[in-house]
Chains A and B, each alone.
Chain A
């Protein structure tokens, strides 16, 4: 114990001496020698040490320097690309390619980078950094940087200094978007002006704005402002904004319903073919979607560097794989059970269990992580109240595309002709030379292939695991039963319809109850129209 303490004591003394000599040499280099650093280099070094609170103080001092280099440092800290090596005592910025650059001298660091540790920030420090950056970025060359800076100032609220700066900048700003954001920010600031006329002008300027800050500021003005005239103007401005907002909210709900509908459409359209055209109840349909989802994962494992293209490769591959499994099911099991729907149901239910367990054995029972390509993430911001996520948008477009493709196959190709013939009147079709059993196999394969493609889409939205099929099989049957088995258009209308009804009920009833209500409504509908919305017409379809 004594030896340890004395050794420790010696180390401590040595460290102190080092510190003193280091700081004294530092002091000799700088022109301003003081306890806490005041110059750029000193402050940057100081960023790396100390508590989160001290870091906040140092950042403030860095910003006050009004040095162009401060902006780079602060934005690196905010993005998490500012690193510190305690052995070399260097602060460095890591750029996109992974190279380290000395934060003070901008020179590349080629020596050992393994000791660099990220300088940590927490949420409150991050907020502080964002606001500081906004003020610094107002003069940036880049338009998008300027726009996000103004939006941040809008969100934080202006004070006298930033208002003066904005008043200056707005005169020279050429970009319309940035100009209007600046106007809104200034108008929000003017709502506190003692002059009544200025306040009314400010309210009028905010009239068309959909920014949430405008709405909350106007709500406050309409209740707490001292002047009656200002309050009335605020109330009328609020009314017009609320109208626009509710219109966009409705559009947003419709989009949510359509995107849920597109997922239902993709799941159900394969089933519409096998159930509708062939009358086969396929309980393994969900597992065929699962196969498509796992195919996507396998493709991503085989080509880990091409995630952006992985989906484009996965779609035809999943179609072929799931289609092959479907043909195998048809040839192996279903072929012997035509005309016996209960046995088909039981057999395919057993098949679904086999396929689920096969997935568990091959891929382990845990979920597999499917990466989303870059172009599928994020959202398209139409205005402050309406933004559309890209993954849902692309899946909606993809669903409609698959639907059109399927319609073309059924209407324009010879296979489609034979499929329709066999489904309308099997005996007659065989009499004119259509190989009915082959057509059955190919139809089943087509339906299963489409299920595989739906699985690719689902892999982007939900977890890929052995239970993926079970989550969608009930919905698929619901859509097909609701839409009627004669017509693919029925599937489209019923999928979109069920999606929209579900999404409109959800805000009022909650996710669980909305599902229950949709099922109850469906049961009531089936009482009235047992064949669904678009039943098959014609003499052959009499049963």
Chain B
């Protein structure tokens, strides 16, 4: 009798214990973790901090809609501090320790290149929201920022046609993105008949602050009688002393216009924009685009960040598109498993904030419109030119020898760098 009682009690205890353990593990599996990998300090903090806040806002909004697959989304924010090797370390931490379902991060191409081997090794997913130089297409990365054919080439076309520019200064920060973009642009300009002596290329380190002689050289290069423009791939806070020096040496946009690829509303908010009026930027989104979806996004952003003076910019829109595409892909696949999400996401469409609909292509790029804008006194852009349709992103530039035969297709060819001439996959093919 006593044994039966004891057995009953033990049984009850066991069931209770089992239930508790089960509920614990259910609680532990109650959230989906999302990694946020943006520099919150260092030379790139001026550009990247706002993207961290954007992801937090999107997660918050998604949770208000009921989360994803019935679970709440939980952000895991790390600060790689503009330190490129630290980006790789933090990625490993996010994927191995925190087991995030997807990472939204990186800005500079060197940070992305550092992260790439880690995210491929651990089969994670990275959404990269910034314009870049192309020449890459990884199975684990989704490039929601502009490829050169969605930003650099159309900007040069605009300057050649509308600006009647004949001489070109390609000024950039010394790392992979400006170097590769300038290679592409140099090849493109030469293919359009521009001579070598009409192209001046210059590189400076991150954070460079002594622009005196470089700007004097630009001034000199521009007074040879032909209309000159500067194509700037200068990144980070080096832009501040650069534009200041342009203003001090009295180079106005009407004399030598500067079109920048890495200067948006966020960077302008820290500058005195009066002397910069008329200088240009090429993006796929401007805060000033008049559109109900954009107005709603801006209102939500200002309410979330509790500051009516904050601005929105192109990488924020790219983050928005990437995040929503990821949510749709997870819902379509029914799981956050990387392989299933990667297969589900190609072909998905997401309305962007400028009135069009972006689509995820087999090369893991999206379709985007190209907008050229002039800086206004209030730090906003006035759109002076835009493509009528959305341009599909091309990972492998048609203007470089090593890449014009390459194609990326992760759906049918299952390869990121497939040589169409030799019919061979140059890199690791998908399994």
Contact = CB atoms under 8 A, between A and B. Distances in A.
A539 B294 CA distance: 76
Interface stretch (A35-43, A389-397, A449-457): A389-397
Nearest to A461: B209
Given A365-B45, A366-B45, 12 more contacts: A120-B382, A122-B278, A130-B254, A213-B223, A256-B216, A366-B46, A377-B248, A381-B250, A389-B212, A461-B209, A467-B207, A511-B203
12 contacts: A124-B163, A252-B216, A253-B213, A360-B41, A367-B270, A462-B209, A463-B237, A463-B241, A467-B207, A471-B207, A511-B204, A512-B203
A503 B40 CA distance: 33
A362 to B, nearest CB: 13
A379 interface: yes
A372 B213 contact: no
A341 interface: no
B362 interface: no
Most buried by A among B40, B254, B377: B254
Interface string B203-228: 11101111011101100000111000
Contacts of B382: 120, 122
A465 B237 contact: yes
Contact of A365 (B41, B202, B203, B377): B41
Interface string B26-55: 000000000000001111011001000000
B186 interface: no
A391 B247 CA distance: 12
Interface string A38-56: 0000000000000010000
Contacts of B240: 367, 463
A120 B278 CA distance: 11
B43 A379 contact: no
A212 B162 contact: no
A52 B384 CA distance: 9
Interface size class of A (residues with CB under 8 A): 35 or more
A126 B278 contact: yes
B213 A506 contact: yes
B213 A366 contact: no
Given A126-B278, A369-B270, A511 B205 contact: yes
Interface in B73-98: none
A506 B280 CA distance: 27
A123 B253 contact: yes
What 8 pairs across the A-B complex have the smallest Cβ distances?
A216-B225, A212-B223, A365-B41, A462-B209, A389-B248, A463-B237, A511-B204, A256-B212
Given A124-B162, A463-B240, A371 B272 contact: yes
Nearest to B212: A256
Contact of B49 (A220, A366, A465): A366
B196 interface: no
Contacts of A52: 384
Nearest to B378: A118
A422 B242 CA distance: 45
Contacts of B270: 367, 369
Contacts of A130: 254
Interface in B164-209: 174, 202-205, 207-209
Contacts of B244: 372
A512 B223 contact: no
B278 A213 contact: no
Interface of A: 52, 80, 120, 122-124, 126-127, 130, 212-213, 216-217, 220, 252-253, 256, 259-260, 263, 360, 365-367, 369, 371-372, 377-379, 381, 387, 389-392, 461-463, 465-467, 471, 503, 506-507, 510-512, 515
Nearest to A472: B209
Contact of A216 (B209, B217, B224, B271): B224
Nearest to A369: B270
A392 B280 CA distance: 27
B22 to A, nearest CB: 43
A120 B204 CA distance: 34
B217 A512 contact: no
Nearest to B223: A212
A124 B41 CA distance: 39
Contacts of B202: 510
B249 interface: yes
A463 B257 CA distance: 24
A467 B278 contact: no
Contacts of A366: 45-46, 49
Contacts of B254: 123, 126-127, 130
B263 to A, nearest CB: 14
B204 A392 contact: no
A467 to B, nearest CB: 7
Contacts of A391: 248
A287 B116 CA distance: 35
Nearest to A504: B213
B213 A256 contact: yes
B163 A123 contact: yes
B333 interface: no
A513 to B, nearest CB: 10
B216 to A, nearest CB: 6
Contact of A367 (B174, B213, B237, B277): B237
Contact of A378 (B41, B241, B248): B248
A378 B45 contact: no
A512 B247 CA distance: 24
B217 A507 contact: yes
Nearest to B274: A80
A259 B212 contact: yes
A507 B271 CA distance: 28
A462 B223 CA distance: 28
B203 A387 contact: no
Contacts of A365: 40-42, 45, 49
B374 interface: yes
Contacts of A212: 223-225
A360 B49 CA distance: 14
B394 interface: no
A123 B257 contact: yes
A121 B224 CA distance: 27
Contacts of A466: 41
Contacts of A259: 212
Contacts of B214: 506, 511
A384 B163 CA distance: 25
A389 to B, nearest CB: 4
A386 to B, nearest CB: 10
B243 to A, nearest CB: 12
Interface string B268-312: 001110000110100000000000000000000000000000000
A512 B174 contact: yes
Contacts of B42: 365, 467
A223 to B, nearest CB: 13
B248 A379 contact: yes
B209 A463 contact: yes
Given A366-B45, A512-B204, A461 B241 contact: yes
Given A122-B384, A127-B254, A462-B241, A512 B205 contact: yes
B265 interface: no
Nearest to B244: A372
Nearest to B208: A511
Contact of A80 (B209, B223, B237, B377): B377
Nearest to B201: A510
Interface in B294-336: none
B407 interface: no
B273 to A, nearest CB: 12
A503 B212 CA distance: 10
Most buried by B among A256, A366, A391: A366
A187 B214 CA distance: 32
B135 interface: no
A381 B219 CA distance: 14
B133 interface: no
Nearest to A120: B382
Contacts of B257: 123
Most buried by A among B162, B203, B244: B244
Contacts of B272: 371-372
